[in-house]
Amino acid sequence: AQTVTQSQPEMSVQEAETVTLSCTYDTSESDYYLFWYKQPPSRQMILVIRQEAYKQQNATENRFSVNFQKAAKSFSLKISDSQLGDAAMYFCAYRSPYSGGGADGLTFGKGTHLIIQP
Partner 1 sequence: DSGVTQTPKHLITATGQRVTLRCSPRSGDLSVYWYQQSLDQGLQFLIQYYNGEERAKGNILERFSAQQFPDLHSELNLSSLELGDSALYFCASNLAGHSYEQYFGPGTRLTVT
> Taking the C-alpha atoms of 51, 55, 68 and 84 in order, what is their torsion angle to the nearest 10 degrees?
-40
Taking CA atoms, 49 is separated from 20, 33, 58, 103, 109, in Å, by 14, 11, 10, 20, 15
Q: Looking at 17, 110, 115, 117, which residue binds partner 1 (CB under 8 A)?
A: 110
Per CB under 8 A, 91 contacts partner 1: yes
The residue from 15, 47, 63, 81 that contacts partner 1 (CB under 8 A) is: 47
CA distance 72 to 30: 13
Nearer to partner 1 by Cβ, of 25 and 109: the residue is: 109
Q: Does 42 bind partner 1 (CB under 8 A)?
A: yes
Residue 32 Cβ vs partner 1, minimum distance, rounded to whole Å? 11
User: Distance (Å, rounded) from C-alpha 53 to C-alpha 74?
Assistant: 11
Does residue 35 bind partner 1 (CB under 8 A)?
yes
Pick the binder of partner 1 from 9, 41, 85, 102 (CB under 8 A): 102
